[in-house]
Chain A
Amino acid sequence: MHGKGLRALTLATLVALSATFALVVFWAPNDADQGFIQKIFYLHVPVAIITLIAYVVAGIFAWRQLKTGSREWDLRSYVVIHIALIFNIVGLLTGAIWAKASWGHWWVWDEPTLVSFLIVFLLYATYQPLRFSIEDPERQARYASVFAIIAGAFVPLNFMAVRMATSLVHPRTFGTANGGLPGEMMFVFLVSIVAMGLLFWLIVKYEIAQKTLTWQIRALRRRLLGDDAVAPLGRSAAPTIAPQEAPAR
């Protein structure tokens, strides 16, 4: 029920990831200036793009939560932000490695993507502290949603501001003077985006399934062993919800 389609999605993700890996290593041409290390591009940029899309999507989910008042949208928004934060860290680390390899420094302030990424990370890193410092689960969901909406709108605005503020001395990967990415690179890049998107979606689905399962187990335990057998959820418990299919008892 809640794990529906999980196996197919897992297989698709595995295939897509293996295909990406094979294409990146064996097929995509080496960059003329940067050599092999440039291939981290196929990890870094897709991860970055997926992260940003996920933050905006989490904001939209949060908006749905406020409109409908349903815990389900809160759970989705929570899980998407959770996984996006992890992707965000991966994006920061790969970005730093790429910067070290191609420019010789672990951190370059005139690379707008990297800088925006850090700022966005700093903002979203406060999602959980904010959420878990609220006692009441209803209010927790509502306040977290308000945060997610504000932060979701912040992401594009922040990108704009940081890009305006950086002097564009480093070549941009797309839209350089000689016409951007060559065809093969573009193809591998697109495959990689699809694979990362699938991976993200897969992890989100797994986490939602896990949360639903946790809820079911708690409900079953309470029914079998009595209310005392199940410890109440603390304020720092991640949201769990009842699956829609479960009988309303």
Chain B
Amino acid sequence: MSRDAARRDAKPMRPTMALLRKDLLLERRAPESIPAMVLFSITTFVLFHFGLGRDEVDGSLAAGVLLVTILFAAILGINRLFVAEHEEGGFDAVLMAPIDRTALFLAKGTALFLFLTLVEVVAVPAFAILLLGPSPWHGLPALIVTLALVNLALSSVGALVAALAIRTRSRDLIVPIVTLPLLVPALIAAARACAPLLAAHGDAWPAAKWLLMLGLYDLVFGLLAYAVFDFLLED
């Protein structure tokens, strides 16, 4: 027992890496979430084109379309996040293994972060080609920073809500209705930050307060989710 504890203390990141590698391997062998999210994003851009009746968008409208699409695509990934664990008994395995339970949270959060980043690598260029009017180049570095912060928010809140919803009767209903209101502050900050980046003659960097707000959101919910995740696995 003490040897296990010592081993666990010595390399706290190893279980996380093992769990993360398993998730990435699963997604690579049998791609499921990422293709669905990419297809969903592009379909949504097409829908926005017809729904808004516009060939080109810019400024705050562009920021809204892009971020809301990413948000909804993330919901798909969040819904699938723990399905393998739920169906194949992975939860019991994690509980029985002599590892810290938050390793599962860290692994799932990181996996979701990577999935979202991969989706955006395809979806943002597609958005720039299909819908965006002005050139995206001048605001690209700031856009990458903002989206990274958004992904962080999505993955910490997403991993927590996914764990919360996986053992309810109506997982696919609970995930969106809980996640979307929770993400409103992050969306406010991200949309305000992206609006000048996607405008025709906008600034190359958004006002610092929006990035700070996003950072604060990431910090608060990251720490909070980390603190309470344990209680979702206790059985």
List residues of A whose CB falls within 8 A of some B CB: 66, 119-120, 122-123, 126, 129-130, 133-135, 139, 142-143, 145-147, 149-151, 153-154, 157-158, 160-162, 164-165, 235
- For this complex, 17 residue pairs linking A to B, each with C-beta atoms less than 8 Å apart, are A122-B181, A126-B174, A129-B174, A130-B165, A133-B169, A133-B173, A142-B231, A143-B168, A146-B231, A150-B160, A151-B182, A160-B185, A161-B213, A161-B217, A162-B188, A164-B213, A165-B188
* Residues from chain A with Cβ under 8 Å of B174 in the complex: 126, 129-130, 133
A142 touches which of B209, B221, B224, B234 (Cβ 8 Å): B234
Any A CB within 8 A of the CB of B170:
yes
* Residues from chain B with Cβ under 8 Å of A133 in the complex: 168-170, 173-174
Quick check: A153 and B224 within 8 Å, CB to CB?
yes
Interface size of B by Cβ–Cβ distance < 8 Å? Answer: 31
Quick check: A123 and B168 within 8 Å, CB to CB?
no
Quick check: A146 and B228 within 8 Å, CB to CB?
yes
Closest chain-A Cβ to B146's Cβ sits at a distance in Å of 15
Closest chain-B Cβ to A5's Cβ sits at a distance in Å of 33
- Bound-state Cα–Cα, A71 to B225, Å: 22
Tell me whether A130 and B182 are in contact in the complex, defined as CB-CB below 8 angstroms, given that A142-B231, A164-B209 are known contacts. Answer: no
Closest chain-A Cβ to B29's Cβ sits at a distance in Å of 32
Quick check: B225 and A150 within 8 Å, CB to CB?
yes
Quick check: A135 and B224 within 8 Å, CB to CB?
no
- Bound-state Cα–Cα, A25 to B235, Å: 56
CB closest residue in chain B, given A157? B185
Tell me whether A123 and B181 are in contact in the complex, defined as CB-CB below 8 angstroms, given that A130-B174, A143-B164 are known contacts. Answer: yes
A119 touches which of B181, B216, B220, B235 (Cβ 8 Å): B181
A-side binding surface: helix, strand, loop or mixed? Answer: helix
* Residues from chain A with Cβ under 8 Å of B216 in the complex: 157
B164 touches which of A122, A130, A153 (Cβ 8 Å): A130
- Bound-state Cα–Cα, A162 to B188, Å: 7
B-side binding surface: helix, strand, loop or mixed? Answer: helix
Quick check: B224 and A149 within 8 Å, CB to CB?
yes
Closest chain-A Cβ to B217's Cβ sits at a distance in Å of 6
Quick check: B181 and A150 within 8 Å, CB to CB?
no
* Residues 140-196 (chain B) with a chain A CB within 8 angstroms: 160, 164-165, 167-170, 173-174, 177-178, 181-182, 184-185, 188-189, 192
B178 touches which of A66, A120, A123, A153 (Cβ 8 Å): A123
* Residues from chain B with Cβ under 8 Å of A165 in the complex: 188, 192
Tell me whether A126 and B181 are in contact in the complex, defined as CB-CB below 8 angstroms, given that A134-B168, A150-B224 are known contacts. Answer: yes
- Bound-state Cα–Cα, A15 to B24, Å: 64
Given contacts A129-B173, A149-B224, 16 further A-B contacts (CB under 8 A): A66-B228, A119-B184, A122-B181, A123-B178, A130-B165, A133-B173, A139-B167, A139-B235, A142-B231, A150-B228, A154-B182, A154-B185, A158-B184, A160-B213, A161-B213, A165-B188
* Residues from chain A with Cβ under 8 Å of B168 in the complex: 130, 133-134, 143
A157 touches which of B165, B217, B225 (Cβ 8 Å): B217
Any A CB within 8 A of the CB of B232:
yes
Closest chain-B Cβ to A109's Cβ sits at a distance in Å of 12
CB closest residue in chain A, given B233? A142
- Bound-state Cα–Cα, A114 to B198, Å: 29
Quick check: A130 and B169 within 8 Å, CB to CB?
no
- Bound-state Cα–Cα, A149 to B232, Å: 13
Closest chain-B Cβ to A150's Cβ sits at a distance in Å of 6
Tell me whether A66 and B231 are in contact in the complex, defined as CB-CB below 8 angstroms, given that A130-B168, A150-B224, A165-B192 are known contacts. Answer: yes
Closest chain-A Cβ to B233's Cβ sits at a distance in Å of 10
Quick check: B225 and A142 within 8 Å, CB to CB?
no
